[in-house]
Amino acid sequence: MGVFGKNRKERKPFREALRNLSLVGRPNSPRTRKIDWAITDRARLASEIASVAQNGQVGILEVGADCDWTYFNRARVQPVKSLFVMWREHVRAYDAAENRYDRYFISPEEADKHVDESRDLALEAYEDGHPHLITWP
C-alpha cells in the first residue's frame, strides 16, 4: 500500500487537503484541521525520502496496472526536489491512477539494480482459459 491509500476513496482527503492548502481558517475549523493533516503527511513523506536519499537522489518504485490491466513494475532515479514538489507529484500520481497503483521510495542503488517488468494480465487470463478472472501477480 502506498503512502496515500489504496483507492480513490482513501485518497480523497489528500486531494481536498491539497486544494485547501492556500485557504486559512479559524484555529479549530475543519478546514484548518485538513491543512494540519496535509502538513503531517508531508512530514511523513519527508522522513520517508530522507531515509533512502543518497547524494541528492532518490529512487521511486511504481507498481500497478493501467485501465487495460497491463501490469507494470518499474523503478527510476530522480533528484530530490523541494518537499512540496515531491508531495504534489506523489498526490498527482495517485490521482491519475487508472487501476491499482502503489509508489514507494527506495535507494538509488536499489533502483539501478531493479529490472522493469510489464505484463498484459488480461491477455494472460484469456490465454489461460479464464478471461473473466484476472489474477494479480
pLDDT digits (tens, 9 = 90+) for 104-122: 999 999 999 999 999 999 9
Taking all residues of the chain, what is their mean pLDDT, rounded to a whole number? 79
pLDDT range class, residue 68, cuts 50, 70, 90? confident
Other beta carbons less than 10 A from residue 65's beta carbon: 23
| pLDDT at residue 74 tops 90 | yes
Task: Name the phi and psi angles at 46, rounded to 5.
Answer: -60, -45
Per domain, the residue ranges of the chain are 8-127
Given this model, what pLDDT does residue 10 score?
Answer: 61
